[in-house]
Amino acid sequence: MLIRLILLFTIVPLVELTILLKLSNNIGFIYTLGIVIFTGVLGAYFAKSQGKEILFRIRHEMQSGRMPGDQLLNGLCVLVGGAMLLTPGILTDTLGFLLVLPIPRELIKVYIKRKIQKMIEEGNANFYFRR
């Protein structure tokens, strides 16, 4: 797991930097910088608005006596997506928008739920409860 994290935090920035440099060579530094700033600001706006909506839904479900499991997964997706949108880069911005926007997020949630279900069935998932 540690090796995967090390690779993730070294390879992804190098790939992002390469893409940004090539983009800068093709369209110019100012336009590339503008794209990075624009996607960061737009992403922060979407993450904030979606986050507020999800918090409202969580409160509503809890007041109705239901466990807000689906909304908690939505919140996690928006949190991760928002962090990716604030990270400069084309790949991270693309994945960030997919996690923040509602329609693509639903498709990603289906994948996450299947993955979790598979982990539970194989016995690879551990849950800890505190009293």
Assigned domain for 131 exists = no
Mean pLDDT calculated for residue range 73-83: 92
Determine the pLDDT at residue 119.
87
**pLDDT at 131 exceeding the cut of 90:** no
21 vs 69, higher pLDDT: 21
Determine the pLDDT at residue 17.
92
Assigned domain for 128 exists = no
Mean pLDDT calculated for residue range 99-118: 91
Q: What is the dihedral of CA 39, 107, 83, 120, to 10 degrees?
A: -170
Assigned domain for 98 exists = yes
At 40, which amino acid appears? G
Alpha carbon distance 24, 78 (integer Å): 29
Q: What is the pLDDT of residues 45-65, one digit of tens each?
A: 999 999 999 999 999 998 988
Determine the pLDDT at residue 99.
94
- pTM to 2 decimals? 0.81
Assigned domain for 37 exists = yes
Most distant CA atoms of the chain, gap in Å: 58
Cα-based angle 6, 77, 14 (whole degrees, multiple of 5) = 30
Give, rounded to a whole angstrom, the gap between the first and last alpha carbons of the chain.
29
Determine the pLDDT at residue 35.
92
**Residue ranges making up the domain that contains 69:** 2-122
Return the SS3 of 129: coil
Using CA of residue 61, residue 69, residue 106, residue 98, what is the dihedral sign? positive
